[in-house]
Amino acid sequence: MAEIKLVTEVAGRICAISANKGARVSVGDDVVLVEAMKMEIPVPSPVSGTIKSILVAVDDVVAEGQAVAVLET
């Protein structure tokens, strides 16, 4: 199985985590939401797979390009 890291395209604060470790996700499913400039920006899954790990928690501050989760395909 291949591992894929999901990365955020914006810097901000994690305001919600939509999927837990072990959850199955499809292409386009939101995994986490990042609050940036009073907007909630989703980090969607680029592929179908299983969440191997969530690398952030709610209220964590993340940088642009930071990995927030790992998927197994």
Counting residues of the chain whose pLDDT is more than 70, the rounded percentage is 100
**3-72 is classed CATH 3.40.640.10:** no
Mean pLDDT along residues 17-26: 96
Q: What are the boundaries of each domain within the chain?
A: 3-72
pLDDT digits (tens, 9 = 90+) for 26-57: 999 999 999 999 999 999 999 999 999 999 99
CA distance 8 to 73: 19
Query: So what's the pLDDT on residue 25?
Result: 97
Confidence of residue 1 (pLDDT cuts 50, 70, 90): confident
Which DSSP string do the residues of 10-23 spell out, in sequence order? S-EEEEEE---TT-
